[in-house]
Chain A
Amino acid sequence: MTDLHLDPKPLTIAGRTYRSRLIIGTGKYKSYEENARALEVSGAEIVTVAVRRVNLTDPHQPKLVDFIDPKKVTYLPNTAGCFTGEDAIRTLRLAREAGGWSLVKLEVLGDRKTLYPDMLETLRAAEMLIADSFQVMVYCNDDPMMAKRLENLGAVAIMPLAAPIGSGLGIQSPVNIRLIIEEAKVPVIVDAGIGTASDAAIAMELGCDAVISNTGIAEAKDPVLMASAMRHAVEAGRLAYLAGRMAKKRYADPSSPLAGLI
């Protein structure tokens, strides 16, 4: 965190502040040990988690909570795999009971091939969850109008995709992401599609408040090393955004003065 004293404000989601602007997932790792090591190196203070049935035939299997302490790291339950608003709400009510907190990530998927969000179901579910006192971060498409609707409903963070979930294709619509950021008064967090460190840096340079990476880290040849790369990319991208990049020019512009040339 040595560079972060140059970042004047922490990330604030629903009144809670975080020094790290990187959120990591807990899926697809070889083991919970590897996941915990990647988390430590990443500096992330929030992890996304899934809610699933306990295994009744072997209740003593390794548990996520034994490797990543929910008292030290914010568990962000998400509704991955839910295709209807009702399933998502049911899942998050169970998550709130299991965890005891109301900050959640809503995603309602429309299609198994693309895992693209069904925005009509997402809006409907978000409205019901907010009415039920949840603080809802919402996975959404990169449509600035949908992002505005979600914010108006009371979403605590807008989470547009960069590219399809798990694709690692990077930021496909920088223009849309920037338009969403310009209009939003709640944090904008790029969720899905971050494949490598430069993708995360580009997202942060656009002005995103944070980035989520799961597959980009978990499916790297060395996930722990990639967790470190993502951390540095997010910090570098954030500082570059705050610094304000130079204007792009069509031709060369010498860096040394021409006066006094021999």
Chain B
Amino acid sequence: MGLRVTINGEECSLDRSVSVDVLLTQLGLEPAKIAVERNLEIVPRSKYRDVTVVEGDRLEIVHFIGGGM
């Protein structure tokens, strides 16, 4: 069964429930350089393997970019 989630404001469908760790790999992102928020709560990097993305989740995946004030 597929599931629908929102990542960075975009609706996406996933084939199955996966851990945050697996999702980041699928998206081609290096865990060391980013931060993840799931349903307004930070997912600590140490929990990426334990936290499973489920139907309806809203994820924000951010990193540092150039910016001033």
Question: A residues near B, CB below 8 A?
Answer: 25-29, 32, 35, 48-54, 56, 59-60, 63-65, 70, 75, 77-78, 80, 90, 93-95, 97-99, 107, 115, 139, 165-166, 191-192, 212, 214-215, 218
How many A-B residue pairs lie within 8 Å, measured between CB atoms?
113
**Contact, CB under 8 Å: A25 / B63:** no
User: Using an 8 Å CB-CB cutoff, how does the interface string of B42-69 with A read, 1 for contact, 0 for none?
Assistant: 1011000000000000001111111111
Say if the beta carbon of B5 comes within 8 Å of chain A: no
- Chain A residues with Cβ under 8 A from B29's Cβ? 54, 59
Chain A binding surface SS class: mixed
Q: How far does the Cβ of B35 sit from chain A's closest Cβ, in whole Å?
A: 4
Question: B residues near A, CB below 8 A?
Answer: 7-10, 27-29, 33-37, 40, 42, 44-45, 60-69
**Contact, CB under 8 Å: A80 / B42:** no
- Chain B residues with Cβ under 8 A from A64's Cβ? 64-66
Q: A93-B42, A94-B62, A97-B44 are in contact. Are A48 and B68 (CB under 8 A)?
A: yes
Chain A's closest residue to B61 (CB) is A54
- Chain A residues with Cβ under 8 A from B9's Cβ? 53
Q: A59-B28, A214-B69 are in contact. Are A97 and B64 (CB under 8 A)?
A: no
Q: A56-B10, A98-B34 are in contact. Are A35 and B66 (CB under 8 A)?
A: yes
